[in-house]
Amino acid sequence: MATNVSIFMSSSSDIIKSNSEMLEKFYFKCKKRKSISKSQIPFDELCWTSFTITMICSVLTPMDLYRYLVEIGFIDTSVSSYCLQCSGQLTLIPSTTVIDGCQLKCNNRIGVNGSTNKTKLCSKKFTIRRYSWFHKSHLTIHEILTLTYYWWSEISQKYVENDLDLAHGTPIDWYNFCREVSEDVVINNSEKIGGFGITVEIDESKFGKRKYNRGKRVEGVWVFGGVERISGKCFLVAVSDRSANTLLDVIKEWILPGSIIISDCWKAYDKIEEHNNYIHLKVNHSLHFKDPENGAHTNQIEGLWNLAKKSLPNTNRSKKMFAGSLATFMLRTKWKGKDGFKLFMQYAAKLYSDDSTTDVTETKRLKSACKENILYFI
């Protein structure tokens, strides 16, 4: 694949003229050159926004757009650049018969009826979306990029539906797809927290709503979590109950030996110091938020609960959707301060490319097993 992106200005360049000084500078730079490399496109300054996506999809030709998405890692060609029929290298060609404006074609010569003397061109054609985040969708690449960006930016599905003129169920489906990718990210990037001399705050909370909005009865899912002070690394685990056996198993699994663990006075924590050389400090919340003797408090984990609960949608908080919503919160926490949309697209590209070489049944089995425990750790 080419590493340079050719830009041919057309009437769509008006989208650049009418905007900020930075974009005007970009426009005039493009006008003076026939091609411009990735390093010269000011994405580091612009960052990814819905406008950036519209600008790029409008300015670049279909073939250049594909090349650029490959170059920045939004499409992984490690598998899709080879012919399924003869394993030959595929070539990018323009096409007016497909929605993307270009296709991949195999120009490899293959034997006729097994003969090595008589050959013919393979000529097999493939969509540029094969084994990618864009695969098997009737939406344009621009719509998918914008929809994914809106999901990451926590834009309401109703707004997305109106802005992109989509069918009612389309934003719902794509938001669910994004949550599934979030689950893969957090499941496959788990690591333990704590260690000798490192403080970890732990607590449990119920995610749900009060029955009829009255009283203390809450229906929902119990979640147990821990936060490492200073680094802010954390884990959240959906658990079936708050018994000592359940919580201690999670603590031993995800908090390193020798950690200083701070909790409230819930009885399930009474035997923490009997395991893994843990040092256990308690704070009695019925008396004070910070223990006056040892200085123990759980303010950091309490703050995490508030952020996590606010991140969940106001509607459709079913147990089926809970895993994806919790994973999404953890992912946003992990990538805070970074270009999360770009990182998400790059991970999705790799994930869907890997799925092409992974047994589908085994993948579904592993995902199902992970969802049963709903364990997320970042």
One domain, residues 207 and 299: yes
What is the Cα–Cα distance from 218 to 207, expressed in whole angstroms? Answer: 8
What is the token pair recorded at 173? 């489906």
- Identify the pLDDT of residue 80: 83
One domain, residues 198 and 120: no
What is the Cα–Cα distance from 328 to 65, expressed in whole angstroms? Answer: 28
Tens-of-pLDDT digits for all 378 residues of the chain?
Answer: 333 333 333 333 333 333 345 445 554 555 454 444 444 444 444 578 888 888 788 878 899 889 889 988 999 988 888 888 888 889 999 999 999 999 999 988 887 776 667 778 888 999 999 999 999 899 999 999 999 999 999 999 999 999 999 998 999 999 999 999 998 888 787 788 999 999 999 999 887 654 444 444 445 778 898 999 988 888 888 888 999 999 999 999 999 999 999 999 999 999 999 999 999 999 998 888 888 888 899 999 988 888 888 777 665 555 567 778 888 988 888 888 888 999 999 999 999 987 655 444 444 444 444 444 444 445
One domain, residues 104 and 201: no
Strands 109-111 and 119-121: antiparallel
Whether 268 is covered by a domain: the verdict is yes
Residues 6+ apart with CB under 8 A from 170: 139, 147, 161
One domain, residues 197 and 122: no
One domain, residues 204 and 287: yes
DSSP code at position 8: -
- Smallest CA-to-CA distance from 311 within 376, 258, 366 is with 376
Number of domains composing the chain: 2
One domain, residues 214 and 347: yes
Task: Write phi, then psi, for 255 (nearest 5 degrees).
Answer: -115, 125
One domain, residues 332 and 218: yes
What is the Cα–Cα distance from 100 to 261, expressed in whole angstroms? Answer: 54
What is the token pair recorded at 278? 């843990």
One domain, residues 86 and 213: no
Burial 188-226 (b: 16+ CB within 10 A, else e): eeeeebbeeebbbbbbbbebbeeeeeeeeeeebbbbbbb
One domain, residues 242 and 346: yes
Last residue of a domain, one of 100, 126, 152: 126
Whether 296 is covered by a domain: the verdict is yes
Look-up: residue for tokens 């990618």? 132
* CB distance 142 to 132 below 8 Å: no
Look-up: residue for tokens 């719509």? 143
pTM for this predicted structure:
0.74
Q: For residue 89, what are the domain limits?
A: 77-126
Whether 224 is covered by a domain: the verdict is yes
Whether 9 is covered by a domain: the verdict is no
Whether 259 is covered by a domain: the verdict is yes
What is the Cα–Cα distance from 237 to 226, expressed in whole angstroms? Answer: 9
Which residue type sits at 357?
A: T
Whether 149 is covered by a domain: the verdict is no
* CB distance 77 to 1 below 8 Å: yes
Look-up: residue for tokens 């995902």? 367
- Identify the pLDDT of residue 116: 63
What is the Cα–Cα distance from 130 to 132, expressed in whole angstroms? Answer: 5
- Smallest CA-to-CA distance from 102 within 63, 131, 138 is with 63
One domain, residues 241 and 335: yes
- Identify the pLDDT of residue 253: 92
One domain, residues 99 and 240: no
- Identify the pLDDT of residue 371: 46
Q: How many angstroms from the chain centroid is the CA of residue 83?
A: 29
- CATH of residue 261's domain is 3.30.420.10
Three-state SS at 199? strand
Whether 217 is covered by a domain: the verdict is yes
- Identify the pLDDT of residue 28: 54
Whether 183 is covered by a domain: the verdict is no
One domain, residues 211 and 328: yes
Helix, strand, coil share (%) of the chain residues, nearest 5: 45, 20, 35
- Identify the pLDDT of residue 228: 93
Last residue of a domain, one of 108, 126, 144: 126
Residues 6+ apart with CB under 8 A from 44: none
H-state helical runs in the chain = 14-17, 21-32, 43-46, 50-59, 62-71, 77-80, 141-152, 157-163, 169-188, 244-254, 299-311, 319-334, 340-355, 360-373
